[in-house]
Amino acid sequence: MSFFSRPSSSAVKIVAPSASHSEPSSPKAPRKDSTQRQCRNILIYGSCKFQDKGCIYYHPPRDSSSPVPPDSPTPSAALPAQAVNAPVFVPKNPASPVPAPAVASTSHVPTFTPSAASPEYHYDETDTYDPQGPMSDANVDQEALDNLAEHFQALDPSVNMNPYDQMGDMDYDAAMDPFYQSQSAFTRQPLNYHLYTHPRPEALQQRYFISDNVREELQRRSEALYASPAPGLNLPEETQGYHSLMPLESTAGERRKFGNWYSAVYKAVNSQDGVAYALRRIENYRLNSQAAFSSIESWARIKHPSLISVKEAFTTRAFNDNSLVVVYDYHPNAETMFEAHIKAKAPQFQNGRLQAQSNRIPERTLWSYIIQIASAIKTVHDAGLAVRVVDPTKVLVTGKNRVRISSCGIVDVLMYEARQDIAMLQQEDLVMFGRLILSLCCSNLGAVNNPQKSLENVGRNYPQEIRNIIVYLMQKPNPLKTIRQVCDMTKSQMLQELDESLNAADRLEGELMSELENGRLVRLLCKFGFIDERPEFARDPRWSETGDRYIVKLFRDYVFHQVDQNGQPVVNLSHVLTCLNKLDAGVDERIMLVSRDEQSCLVVSYREIKSCMESAFSELSGR
């Protein structure tokens, strides 16, 4: 049977789900008299608004303290699997106090009602599975079947055979039996926010996921984040609560000094918060005064998007020497500006020829770098500190056009005893900043050794404003030379920078939109995986082809294992996402689930399936 086609017969056989491992069928249980059964509206809401309008269930006297009739089983909020067969009383016409004849004569047949009725659709634990229950063949007379079949044909929202149906697009009133259209109480509900994804045409289905280049970039970062160190590095297992140390640079070969010291950078995981950090270690450093760490506290308070945040500093002997370690935020896959823009790149094949790679930075990128670094320096100077290292090897490129100054605070500790004037140090920052821009413009660290020639070079490739900024920054220190002035000199570019960063944020939001569904849908899929067809419970009649699990299994087939009219598998992601969204939202829309042997079918709402899934999952996790 194709799920996409309507039932070929107007009469749909409704039988209990076949249970491959079920026990031999028990003798027929006596039918329950619906008039003796407790009205669930009383149980849930304390009253039934249809009590005087023809509701056929038991209503205790209004002043009765106990709403449960003496012969009623104890009610409970739990939803048993067989509850999907439980009848609901909803008057077909509120104007008429007498139930419609079909309902009156077949009180055990559930009425297929629009979702407005479903808030009052409820179950109690006492609903035991009854093979002769209200949905069984024996209890369903022909009139009821005809009635049911009419509903299948008329109620598209209730029996959704079409995966392209969307909640937002459904015209309930038009699709429903005209009988319901007169019900003024039936109001259209706003779209449930859980259903925000509308199915897309198949050709655009990849838009459910972020674009490949963003994914690739994030994937590489994640890989770097979780990379583990090669064995035999002879690094400490742990130091001051940081473990899994992994060097971020090669320590073999010739090493440059950080001032007078050798340094090394490691990625390490903090055992308290499980987050990876970058540890910069200064080798063979002897701390003379604890007060040297005072500036680290000031640095830890400064937060700026273009500064790598400082977390803490400590000394350790874990590396078999006296080491100073300053801990920074870790930015996976970061490159130094030197590596990204100055270091000569290997030639690449282009148009069949090996060609040298240009390191020239586009003007727009350069402006972006200047604005970001100027803004970071301004924040530091405003806090009464100096950066002290504005160098192509200490400014990191952490993403597309994103730069951050690293190694903040470390020189303050190392040079604590020198106690230099902060205004002087800030002037030095500006000179270092000028040199950095000059090196970037010329793609050459040595450019600062011949500023005159290098500036001519800058004038040829970049606008006069950039040249002016470099000249201003590199001139002799004077009290009027401030980072604020530099910011003023960049203001013609600030608006464009702002626009571009807003565009970038919008683009990323757009990417996020396409991933929005995935987190919760993965959780749902995990639950399916946990529940369906557990081999260890295969012989447990409560955990096999019956009850809640059976419904979950049939739903899984409905979502994933549909076939078209020719028996070919239907692989339709839109259908899957729509169904899972509706399941997650627990909407009242009903669908027909058909057993694999096509001998049984159940009409259940997403709300009921959700409830079955929740109870099966909580039972499983509570075992």
Dihedral (C-alpha) 426, 429, 434, 435: value to the nearest 10 degrees?
150
Find the binding residues for ligand ATP in span 74-103 (CB under 6 A).
none
Residue 134: φ, ψ to 5°: -60, -25
Q: Which two tokens stand for residue 466?
A: 């950039």
Nearest distance, CB of residue 266 and ligand ATP, angstroms? 9
Q: Is the dihedral of CA 145, 150, 151, 152 positive or negative?
A: positive
Question: What does the per-residue mask of binding to ligand ATP show for 337-366, with x meaning CB under 6 A?
Answer: -x----------------------------
**Where does 249-306 have alpha helices with state H?**
294-301
Residues contacting ligand ATP: total by CB under 6 A? 20
- Residue 331 near ligand ATP by CB under 6 A: yes
Strand, helix or coil at 309?
A: coil
The distance of closest approach from Cβ of residue 461 to ligand ATP in the complex, given in angstroms and rounded to an integer, is 25
The annotation status of 198 as a binding-site residue, yes or no, is: no
When the beta carbons of 214 and 225 are compared against ligand ATP, the nearer one is: 225
Asked if 389 touches ligand ATP (CB under 6 A), the answer is no
**Tokens in use for 151?**
């509903």
Kindly state whether residue 394 participates in binding ligand ATP, applying the rule CB under 6 A. yes
* Segment near ligand ATP (CB under 6 A); pick from 392-400, 443-451, 468-476, 566-574: 392-400
The SS3 assignment for 83 reads: helix
List the one residue from 82, 147, 295, 336 that touches ligand ATP (CB under 6 A): 336
Q: Other C-beta atoms within 10 Å of 366: how many? A: 20
Contact 607, 587 (CB under 8 A): yes
Closest by alpha carbon to 372, among 485, 494, 473, 461?
494
The residues pairing with 562 across neighbouring beta strands, listed in sequence order, are: none
Q: Is 323 in the site for ligand ATP (CB under 6 A)?
A: no
Cβ proximity to ligand ATP: between 86 and 440 the closer is: 440
* 344 in a labelled binding site: no
Q: β-pairing, 261-270 with 242-247?
A: antiparallel
Identified binder of ligand ATP from the candidate list 406, 454, 493, 546, rule CB under 6 A: 406
Examine residue 308 and tell whether it contacts ligand ATP (CB under 6 A). yes
Q: How far is the CB of 412 from ligand ATP (least distance, A)?
A: 17
CB of 221 to ligand ATP, least distance (A): 10
Provide the 10 A C-beta neighbour count for residue 95: 10
Going by their DSSP bridges, the two strands 348-350 and 402-405 should be labelled as unpaired
Query: What is the closest distance, in whole angstroms, from the C-beta atom of residue 269 to ligand ATP in the complex?
Result: 13
Instruction: Pick the stretch among 92-100, 125-133, 326-334, 566-574 that binds ligand ATP (CB under 6 A).
Output: 326-334
Q: How far apart are CA 554 and CA 561, in angstroms?
A: 9
Q: Given candidates 202, 335, 382, 499, which one binds ligand ATP under the rule CB under 6 A?
A: 335
Which runs of consecutive H residues, i.e. helices, occur in 106-200?
Answer: 142-154, 172-175, 178-181
22 Cβ neighbours under 8 A, 6+ residues apart = 541, 544, 545, 546
Which region among 255-263, 284-292, 296-304, 594-602 touches ligand ATP (by CB under 6 A)?
255-263
Does 106 count as an annotated binding residue?
A: no
280 is in an annotated binding site: yes
Q: Is 331 annotated as a binding residue?
A: yes
Q: Is 278 in the site for ligand ATP (CB under 6 A)?
A: yes
138 vs 275, beta carbon nearer ligand ATP = 275
CA distances from 23 to 129, 131, 306 (A): 13, 12, 69
Instruction: By CB under 6 A, tell whether 248 contacts ligand ATP.
Output: yes
334 binds ligand ATP (CB under 6 A): yes
The Cα–Cα gap between 9 and 266 comes to 71
Our CB check for ligand ATP shows the closer of 37 and 267 to be 267
- Give the Cβ contact number of residue 260 at 10 Å: 10
Q: Considering the complex, state which of residue 279 and residue 603 has its C-beta at the smaller distance from ligand ATP.
A: 279
Q: Does 56 bind ligand ATP (CB under 6 A)?
A: no
Give dist(CA 307, CA 127) in Å, integer.
64
Which of 28, 400 has the CB closer to ligand ATP? Answer: 400
Distance CA(192)–CA(521), nearest Å, equals 16
362 among annotated binding-site residues: no
Rounded to whole angstroms, how far apart are CA atoms 109 and 147? 10
Q: Does 258 bind ligand ATP (CB under 6 A)?
A: yes
Residue numbering of the annotated binding site for ATP:
280, 329-336, 393-394
Binding site for ligand ATP (CB under 6 A): 248-249, 256, 258, 263, 265, 278, 308, 328-331, 334-336, 338, 393-394, 396, 406
